[in-house]
Amino acid sequence: MPAFQVQSDRRVQALDVTASVEEMAAAARVGEGLCVVSASHTTVALIVNEYVPDLMHDLERWIEQKAPAGPVYDHPGNADSHIRAALWDRR
């Protein structure tokens, strides 16, 4: 199965992967059909939306407000990341 990697530089970051998905579909010579995109980590979420910088900033700020980083969780380490992925995930 074809794959690509994306590297973020912040704990909450919206990244546009459209070009990578389009390149993979073109390389597979897909002209028409359904494309399934998935993330292989539990702290990643995929959404389908228009990639507008102001909107992405709003989404990032919203998710940080809903699941702030900090010692308020029972799960050690990165509970906020798992909760953020569950809130943001629209698969």
pLDDT higher than threshold 80 for residue 79? yes
Give the mean pLDDT of 62-91.
Answer: 84
Model pTM?
A: 0.75
CATH class of the structural domain 18-88: mainly beta
Exposed e or buried b per residue across 12-51, where buried means at least 16 C-beta atoms within 10 angstroms of its C-beta: bebeeeeebeeebeeeeeeeeeeeeeeeeeeeebeeeeee
Q: Residue 90: what pLDDT?
A: 52
CB atoms within 10 A of CB 62: 13
Domain ranges of the chain: 18-88
Q: Residue 15: what pLDDT?
A: 92
- CA distances, 34 to each of 18, 21, 37, 63 (Å): 14, 12, 10, 29
pLDDT band (50, 70, 90) for residue 89: low
Task: Read off the pLDDT of residues 18-72 as tens digits, 9 standing for 90 and up.
Answer: 999 999 999 999 888 888 898 888 888 888 889 999 999 999 999 989 999 887 8
